[in-house]
Structure 1
Amino acid sequence: MFALAPDLAPLLRSGHDVALVTVVAARGRGPLRVGDGMAVTAGARVVGALSGGCVEADAVLLGLDVLATGAARRATFVLDCGGTIDVLVHRVRGSGGADAVAIEALERAARGERAELALLRRGPRAGALVEPRCAAEDEDPLVLQHRRRPHLTILGAGRYAPALCRLAAAAGHTVTVVDPSALLATPARFPDATRVVVADLAAHLATRDGADEGAADAVVVLAHDDRVAVPALATALTTALARDGYVGATASRATAARRRTALRAAGVPGAAIARLRSPIGLDLGGEDETATALAIVAELAAVRHAASARPLREGRGPVRARSTGGHARIDQQRSGAVA
């Protein structure tokens, strides 16, 4: 559901009601996970999708019925790929209705912030979206969570930085670009950045508040001058981010080795230096700015998801991991009104 937030939040805030078709159980093959879904407006506008088109028509009809009656409905769909999903179709009222909590959570998600809602699946309030603390166990809550967007700090605004900023933002990161040169660090060069900062690289890392940083966040040093890059890396590798997140730097193998020697001389612990990813990126081929940025973003994704980065055809097991969306209890109830 939260994946639809950028489109849903404006619709709801403008006063439109929507019917959400939320996956509450998924079995067998198929790309859908618990918490995925689509939305339907009274004008039959569809936001998102459940499949490649094999069940959308039926889902739209259910959504229109729920919008008309206000009563949540449950249904089971068998997908063409062989998977089976159970969905709960429920109404969310637009601005002026009683669903302000849901709208506010969707707006936070649309901004890339953390958000959490509980979808109630049983009882008189079935289909309601509430704060998890307001859900009772006998209402069978499905907890839906949206994690804060991962943050990438790019240190150095030179040749590769614009492409990296652009691709990282497209891949779902918020991006801060830092460079001591006001000629390079400009919003015009980095229109996809959340922030563009003119500052010394190491000083910026030392003064920022990293309390909210986690395993999904990253610092990438693109500066070529060791006099700038080594202090920045020394600072990055001694923050909490280095333990849980990603710290990398562009470099040749010779430059990477030289910098590791300089970091040891600067007193950076060996265990911290071992976590440095340099030379940076996956071996995807290509040497231009976009190819280099793609290699870096691909490694960021592989590290964040603890993935092998090997071709999927060489692996075994499910292509996409399943998630039950929190502490939800999945039931197998068939199509019909929700008790």
Structure 2
Amino acid sequence: MLDIAEELDQWVLEGREFAVATVVATNGSAPRQPGAALAVDSDGTAIGSVSGGCVEGAVYELCRQALADGENTLESFGYSNEDAFAVGLTCGGVIDVLVTPVLAGSPSRAVFADACAIAARGSAAALVRVAEGPAELLGRALLVHPDGRFEGGLGGHVDLDRAAAREARAMLDAGKTGGVVIGEDGSRCGQPLTLLVESSVPAPRMIVFGAIDFASALVRVGKLLGYHVTVCDARPVFATERRFPEADEVVVDWPHRYLEATELDARAVLCVLTHDAKFDVPLLEMALKLPVSYIGAMGSRRTHLERNERLRQVGVTELELARLRSPIGLDLGARTPDETALSIAAEIVAVRRGGSGAPLRGARTPIHHDGARGPVRTIGEVA
């Protein structure tokens, strides 16, 4: 649901009543992952998507029904289900969709409103909802803040809320969205509960070192992928906002000095396009020791070999060198800056999602690499 938080936040501010349908679990080749949502207001306006078009019509009607009767519902759509097949889910996957009415005066409206407002401004919080359990608890919501505070409730049992808040906080720290099962003892309602935890976290960082034409193209692609993009170069004549209007920030500084002063998390992406040893070596010497998700460096194969030798000379280990994606990008036969940016972005996505970068035609690997139907884990299970 938080993927459409900006629009929902506006709806809340305008006082609209709406119903939101959220993917809570998937299996097989499902087009959208848990957390994807479609919302419908009382005028019939729809935003978002739960299936990339396969079952939107049926889910739209479920939302309209929820607005009429005020009831939460959980529906499953899959290839083996005749009704689901009839509405078009032919991709072979299964999706479970939770439909929740958000009506004026409803207990969960304040929680939904706060969650959407936080996500819309890019701040951190986790929204927890009962996705499977007793009918009277279905759709109950809890909002968990990074410091562990929470508001709302999942059914009147403070122990359940505390257990859910602990799990949600752990998932929030990792920036993950998915399911958690709380066993019968922990749920206090006589049966296990499946919870959907949606994490809202600030956009991941992409830092592009080197204010060159290729960087301009990469900034555009990085923004498309949802990154907060910074361009850094020590040359003020090149590192200007006019040359990079789509970047979130343009920094004039020596790359290694800027990196040393910058706080990064494990989702950060570093793209070194400087192509100059006096910038590359001190920058990569530092970068390869950081727990970021991706480090790539531009250059020919000869440049790559020479740069690796220089890095060894300053003490970079073979294990650290193995983290470096160089020459940067996937082999797409790219020539232009835009094509090269696409090549780099493709490699970043492959690393992030666990893809091979190989053509899907004839491959036996999964099309979607993350997101399996059912819970991420059960409380008490070793992660």
Q: TM-score, normalised by structure 1?
A: 0.84
The answer for the alignment partner of 1:221 in structure 2 is 272
Between stretches 41-50 and 309-318, larger displacement belongs to 309-318
AA aligned opposite 1:301: V
The answer for the alignment partner of 2:262 in structure 1 is 208
Which residue, out of 141, 154, 158, partners 1:129?
141
Count how many residue pairs are aligned between Structure 1 and Structure 2: 323
- Aligned partners of 1:20 and 1:39 also within 8 Å: yes
Write the mapping of 1:44-193 to structure 2, written as runs, cut at 5 A. 44-51=44-51, 53=53, 55-77=55-77, 78-79=84-85, 80=88, 81=90, 83-93=93-103, 99-121=109-131, 122-131=134-143, 134-135=153-154, 136=160, 137=187, 138=189, 140-146=194-200, 148-193=202-247
Aligned counterparts of 1:83 and 1:209: Cα–Cα separation in 2: 40
Aligned counterparts of 1:153 and 1:95: Cα–Cα separation in 2: 44
Higher relative contact order (CA 8 A, sep 6+): 1
Structure 2 counterpart SS, 1:234: helix
The answer for the alignment partner of 1:9 in structure 2 is 9
Superposed CA deviations along residues 243-265 of structure 1, whole A, max 9, x for unmatched, are: xx211111111111111111112
Which residue, out of 256, 271, 284, partners 2:332?
284
Superposed CA deviations along residues 100-158 of structure 1, whole A, max 9, x for unmatched, are: 33233334434455442111243534323223664332464322334553321111111
- Aligned partners of 1:154 and 1:221 also within 8 Å: yes
Aligned counterparts of 1:299 and 1:169: Cα–Cα separation in 2: 16
Aligned counterparts of 1:179 and 1:197: Cα–Cα separation in 2: 7
Aligned counterparts of 1:108 and 1:151: Cα–Cα separation in 2: 19
Aligned counterparts of 2:198 and 2:214: Cα–Cα separation in 1: 37
Which residue, out of 312, 315, 320, partners 1:272?
320
Change (3 A) 1:185 1:10: farther
- Aligned partners of 2:124 and 2:200 also within 8 Å: yes
**Deviation for aligned residue 1:205:** 0.8
**Deviation for aligned residue 1:60:** 2.4
**Deviation for aligned residue 1:25:** 4.2
Which residue, out of 330, 345, 348, partners 1:297?
345
- Aligned partners of 2:334 and 2:343 also within 8 Å: no
Q: Any stretches of 5+ residues in structure 1 without a counterpart?
A: 330-339
AA aligned opposite 2:113: I
AA aligned opposite 1:287: R
After superposition, the CA RMSD in angstroms is 2.8
The answer for the alignment partner of 2:253 in structure 1 is 199
Which stretches of structure 1, 4 residues or more, deviate above 6 A after TM superposition?
94-97
- Aligned partners of 2:25 and 2:34 also within 8 Å: yes
Q: TM-score, normalised by structure 2?
A: 0.75
Aligned counterparts of 1:98 and 1:201: Cα–Cα separation in 2: 47
Structure 2 counterpart SS, 1:286: coil
AA aligned opposite 2:274: A
Write the mapping of 1:238-257 to structure 2, written as runs, cut at 5 A. 238-241=289-292, 245-257=293-305
In the alignment, structure 1 residue 315 sits paired with structure 2 residue 363: yes
**Deviation for aligned residue 1:227:** 1.2
Change (3 A) 1:251 1:25: closer
- Aligned partners of 1:13 and 1:94 also within 8 Å: no
Aligned counterparts of 1:83 and 1:236: Cα–Cα separation in 2: 40
